[in-house]
A and B are shown apart, each in its own frame.
Chain A
Amino acid sequence: MKTLEIQSPGTEKSAIQNPQSQIVIALAGNPNAGKTTLFNALTGLKQKVANYPGVTVERREGVWKLGENAVRLIDLPGLYSLDVTSIDEEIAHDVLTGKVAGLPKPDAVIAVVDATNLERNLYLVTQLLEYNIPVVIALTMIDLAEKQSLEIDTDKLSSLLQIPVVAVKAAQKQGIEELAEKTLRAAEVHQIPRLPWLTEAEFLETVTEEDIHLSLSDDAGANRKIFARYNFISDVYQEAVKAVETTERSVSEKIDSVLTHKFFGLVILVAILLLVFQTIFSWAELPMNLLESGFGALGEFAKAQMPEGVLTDLVTDGIIAGVGGVLVFLPQILLLFLFISILEDTGYMSRAAFLLDKIMSKFGLHGKAFLPLMSSFACAIPGIMAARTIENPKDRLATILIAPFMSCSARLPVYTLMIATFFAGQTVFGVLSLGAVLMLAMYALGIIVAIVVAFILKRTLLKSPPPPFVMELPPYRLPNLRNVFQNMFQRAGLFVKRAGTVILAISILLWALTYFPRAEVPGSKSQVPGQTEVSVNDEQPATNEAAQIQNSYAGKLGHLIEPVIKPLGFDWKIGVALIASFAAREVLVSTLSIIYNVGKDADAESDTLKEAIRDAKNDDGSPVWTPLTALTLMVFFVLAMQCMSTVAIVRRETNSWAWTLFMVGYMTGLAYLASFITYQGGKLLGF
């Protein structure tokens, strides 16, 4: 093969046997330049996705088979520049200087350059050349450039830049072989061009790492350098490109005149958001129910197959139920990421940020924060993961910290139970159902608190100069289906892998809290004093479960926190349900069912559960629950951070336990305060 002739047999052999001397190639390029498509074409399915240590920048690496050489291909994040001002740029800088553990300095860099946007794409190339690494340009979107009457002379471009330029059509696998050949040769020969702008800006011939840092500390110098690079690029562009001026509007401009129209643009945006919302809210329901019943069946099966005992209970009630409770979110996550990938790939995402930035920036948020927040109405987990599209770390953190205030679908069973039990059939102003008004009020409460918190956070803990909005509006393009689906499954995979471990541990802990210590073996009827034998027999299974919960650590914790929650109108039984619902909010319903002896399978619509709640009495005979208690509980659920999956995902996305615990703390504190005001205020008003 042609590619093999370049390599001497010695290097080739050692490259295979010794991973240390394996060829490493980095793939760099602007966002939207077609880098992902090229990466997929080069590596096929031989790739893995992880995070760079300590940050949430996705680390993509693949194996590029070149004859008998297996090259390590590193896909750098999409970049406009290499000036180490964002996390992405810092990571790219570290990779190019060989600072990432277990990753040697690349032997060559393939710069993916969009032919329709040559000047700005070449800017990154000029910076790459300063790293003293051979660079090969992969020129993409050639056919689109031709359609725009741009004639690019690749040979001329190559001789002016003094580096190889290969036109590629990754989707059709055209130019791949030539790219392989030129890249291997570049890595072998290691010839770095000496380009005029380096001397023009009075820089050393080859810029070492120290020099890059030196120039960074001198901003005026850095700006001069940018100017020098673009001057050079303008000269190259004028010689290598023939552009025919057209007055005709491009397809992109025509689409844009509708999608960012002052009126229709907003209407379409709302319609798209509604579609996304509707999809993750309702279409995901069927697969979620299937998963849920699937895990239920699996638990039953395991119970039937295994001998009775602690181990079986751990496997079925702890592990299977716990892991199942997390995997149930998968359909929502997959669907949301399907939409995000499509919106990003087509170029619509930046338009939506463009439309909404004015409103979002009033609350100190970036225009791009709207989608994570919207998605959080279905579930905060995909919402928080979607915050990855926000580049500025402080903006992203602010968005993550307020996302769980959006009333997610797991709160619905709680709202439904409370409304159905205490407010059913009542109306406001004669026409509006009180239930609907309350439901809307709960959603509004979450949104208002989120806005206030964002406003405060951005002026205190996350205070930073407003991040630049300066953002490319890429041309509209059809999404590449393969990239879309790959993106969707890789992100879902990350969720399952990383969050799964933490969630599994917490589920086992919560299971143990309700399981231990074991109540004495039922059968000695004296355990249930004051009841006739008949009723004991009738209620035995439920009573045993209830007795178990009472005696368990969770039950003891419920008694322990009773003085704290008493001012909210909650007794220890509600306390147990609250503790259990920190695993997941909807667990409140099943826990209340166990405590009130109506069986584990009761749901929010169950009449027996509603009656049991209404009939529950305090020691003095007064009812435990009043409509005010129900309202207080709903307010608590709007604001409290009760979802271990969210906690796990926030830990993963912020990479900080401090911020995660801060979130749990301030949300739960706010929930307590708001519930306290609701209950005590309501009592003062005579409810």
Chain B
Amino acid sequence: MILTNLPIGETAKVVSIKGNNSVTKRLMEMGVVPGVAVKIVKTAPFGDPIEIRLRGYSLAMRKSEAEAIEVSE
């Protein structure tokens, strides 16, 4: 399932990062690689971007960017 479909407060494991562009590269550099656990923390007041938590820190990204991240519960 895609990360944006994960309900707020839930944790899931990253399975793969789809695509090969500057966004996916940046996401991986920031530690979003297959195998890591991520938690959806919240969405911004206007519904976008979202905040996730992984490896003990908080990362914000737009929903369009989060769509590249496939997770499994």
Contacts and interface: CB of A to CB of B under 8 A. Distances in A.
Contacts of A118: 56
Interface in B11-65: 17, 20-31, 33-36, 42, 44-49, 51, 55-62, 64-65
A64 interface: no
Nearest to A228: B33
A122 to B, nearest CB: 10
Contact of B23 (A219, A234, A357, A468): A468
A358 B60 contact: no
Given A470-B61, A473-B51, A226 B33 contact: yes
Given A470-B61, A471-B60, A472-B57, A227 B34 contact: yes
B59 A472 contact: yes
B22 A223 contact: no
Interface string A630-651: 0000000000000000000000
Nearest to A252: B58
Contacts of A120: 30-31, 55, 57
A83 B25 contact: yes
Contacts of B60: 350, 354, 469-473
For this complex, into which size category does the number of interface residues on chain B fall? Answer: 35 or more
From B25, B60, B65, name the one whose CB has the most chain A CB atoms within 10 angstroms: B60
A201 to B, nearest CB: 13
Contact of A223 (B24, B30, B46): B24
Contacts of B22: 85, 465, 468
Contacts of A48: none
Interface in A455-478: 465-466, 468-475
B44 A470 contact: no
A361 B61 CA distance: 13
Nearest to A473: B58
A555 to B, nearest CB: 54
A260 B25 contact: no
A230 B47 CA distance: 31
Contacts of B48: 357-358
Contacts of B64: 466
Contact of B62 (A227, A261, A357): A357
Contact of A357 (B25, B26, B30, B49): B49
A226 B28 contact: yes
From A81, A466, A473, name the one whose CB has the most chain B CB atoms within 10 angstroms: A473
A358 B46 contact: yes
A359 B45 CA distance: 11
Interface string A216-249: 0001101100110011001000000001000000
A627 B31 CA distance: 62
A226 B29 contact: yes
Contact of A219 (B20, B29, B35, B59): B20
A507 B17 CA distance: 56
Contacts of B44: 260, 354-355, 357-358
Contacts of A470: 23, 26-27, 30, 59-61, 65
A119 interface: yes
Given A230-B31, A470-B65, A117 B20 contact: no
A470 B57 CA distance: 13
Contacts of B45: 260-263, 265-266, 355
A116 B22 CA distance: 27
A469 B25 contact: no
Given A260-B42, A358-B44, A472-B58, A119 B31 contact: yes
B65 A359 contact: no
A427 to B, nearest CB: 38
A471 B60 CA distance: 5
B18 to A, nearest CB: 11
Contacts of B61: 468-471
A80 interface: yes
B19 to A, nearest CB: 10
Given A260-B42, A357-B49, A469 B62 contact: yes
A83 B56 CA distance: 23
B16 to A, nearest CB: 11
A227 B33 contact: yes
A123 interface: yes
Given A354-B44, A471-B59, A83 B29 contact: yes
A145 to B, nearest CB: 9
Contact of A358 (B28, B36, B47, B51): B47
Contacts of A220: 20
Nearest to B17: A223
Contacts of A150: 56
Nearest to B57: A117
B29 A80 contact: yes
Interface in A320-367: 350, 354-355, 357-359, 361
13 contacts: A81-B29, A117-B56, A123-B29, A219-B25, A222-B25, A234-B35, A260-B42, A354-B44, A470-B60, A471-B59, A472-B59, A473-B59, A474-B58
Query: Which 4 residue pairs of A and B lie closest in terms of their CB atoms, listed nearest first?
Result: A358-B46, A473-B58, A119-B55, A81-B29
Interface of A: 80-81, 83, 85, 116-120, 123, 148, 150, 219-220, 222-223, 226-227, 230-231, 234, 243, 260-263, 265-266, 350, 354-355, 357-359, 361, 465-466, 468-475
